[in-house]
Structure formats: C-alpha cells, structure tokens
C-alpha cells in the first residue's frame, strides 16, 4: 500500500460567490491512503437514494475534523458508481447529487481526484456543476502535488501558529482576480476577509 505524508490537508466545503465561498478550511497532518479503490457491485437504478444517503449521512459538511474512515467509505461508493454506472448527469439524477459526487472526490485522496477530474470538468461544461467547483478541485490537485495553485482557493496554516492561515502559493498572483472572475469567484481579498487575511499584490489583466 502506497502512502504519502501530506503536511497540508485542506478540507473545504466551499461554494462560490456570488454564492460566496463559504465554510472552513482545516489544515492538519495526515497520512493519505492512495491505494486504488476496487469498485464493488452497485444498483445503478438506485443512485438517487444512494447519493442522498451519502449527502445526508456522509459528513461532507463537517468543518471541525478530518475523518479518513468516513472519507474513504464515501469514496468507495462514488468510485463504484462511476465505474459501474458511468458519471451520472442531471438527466438521471438531481444536481445536488452530482454536487455530492464532487464533494466526495474533493474530500478524497489526490489519486482519485486526478483520475476522475476529467469527469468533473465535463460536468461543469454540461452545466451540472459550477465553474467554481472546477476551480476548487484544480487548486486542490495542484496543492496536493506541491505545485502553485491557480485560483487561490486553498489556505494553509502558518509555520508559527497552526490556528492562523495564509494563502497557499499562487501562480502569477497578479492575475488571480481575473482568473477567479472567469470561474464565478469573488476577488481574492474579499474571500480572504473570512480569515482576516489578505494578499498585497496589485491585480492586473492580461
């Protein structure tokens, strides 16, 4: 079993503004389980009920702790759905259940996020998910890979105080507001007010 130590696990349940990026980011030290999941049989005709149970009972909106056991259980369900039934669309399930799939992958490990990211991108292109969902997962993937993020959605704790936050490194930060606007996100310093922080970078447009 491959394991990788992630010094920064950023768990966000964030929706965009003008629907505001809300909720919280938790930063902690955690050993991420990246063993590929083997799908189990699932009833493809019962996806609304299966995903509704995950949505209500899966702990996706918790903000006070990381729970790898719950995240892994949810991920096993979603992987089994995708591999057995394909990626659902709003033609056969409610958009809130497609959002549940997004949240489960976002809370999962980076191996599975990267594996199914193209399906999230397709869902955004089809209008089943928001552009902000794409931005959040793209940043999460980059941060988990130790690379600069693009949209500035991910925070990390400071070296001196784990209860204080700062923005994880951003690629070309002078253009971040332009990129955020394209994803339906508000300006970064408006977003960062929730944590009483800001970035002192003059914003420009290409």
d(CA 66, CA 187): 28
Asked whether residue 164 is domain-assigned, the answer is yes
Asked whether residue 201 is domain-assigned, the answer is no
pTM of the model: 0.83
Asked whether residue 141 is domain-assigned, the answer is yes
**pLDDT band (50, 70, 90) for residue 32:** low
Residue 12 vs residue 105, higher pLDDT = 105
pLDDT of residue 178 exceeding 60: yes
The tokens describing 148, both together, are 């600069």
**pLDDT band (50, 70, 90) for residue 67:** confident
Asked whether residue 205 is domain-assigned, the answer is no
Asked whether residue 142 is domain-assigned, the answer is yes
Asked whether residue 67 is domain-assigned, the answer is yes
Residue 32: domain span: 3-195
Asked whether residue 203 is domain-assigned, the answer is no
Q: Domains in the chain: how many in total?
A: 1
Asked whether residue 152 is domain-assigned, the answer is yes
**pLDDT band (50, 70, 90) for residue 24:** very low
């Amino acid at each position: 079993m491959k394991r990788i130590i992630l010094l920064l696990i950023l768990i966000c349940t964030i929706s965009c503004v003008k629907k505001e990026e809300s909720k919280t980011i938790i930063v902690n030290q955690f050993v991420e389980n990246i063993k590929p999941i083997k799908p189990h049989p699932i009833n493809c005709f019962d996806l609304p009920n299966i995903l509704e149970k995950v949505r209500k009972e899966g702990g996706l909106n918790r903000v006070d702790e990381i729970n790898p056991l719950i995240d892994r259980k949810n991920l096993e369900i979603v992987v089994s759905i995708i591999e057995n039934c394909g990626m659902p669309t709003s033609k056969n399930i409610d958009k809130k259940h497609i959002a549940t799939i997004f949240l489960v992958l976002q809370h999962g490990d980076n191996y599975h996020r990267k594996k199914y990211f193209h399906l999230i991108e397709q869902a955004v292109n089809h209008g089943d998910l928001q552009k902000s969902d794409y931005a959040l997962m793209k940043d999460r993937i980059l941060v988990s890979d130790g690379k600069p993020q693009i949209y500035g959605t991910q925070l990390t704790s400071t070296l001196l105080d784990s209860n204080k936050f700062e923005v994880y490194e951003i690629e070309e930060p002078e253009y971040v507001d332009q990129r955020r606007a394209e994803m339906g996100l508000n300006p970064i310093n408006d977003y960062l007010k929730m944590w009483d922080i800001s970035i002192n970078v003059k914003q420009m447009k290409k």
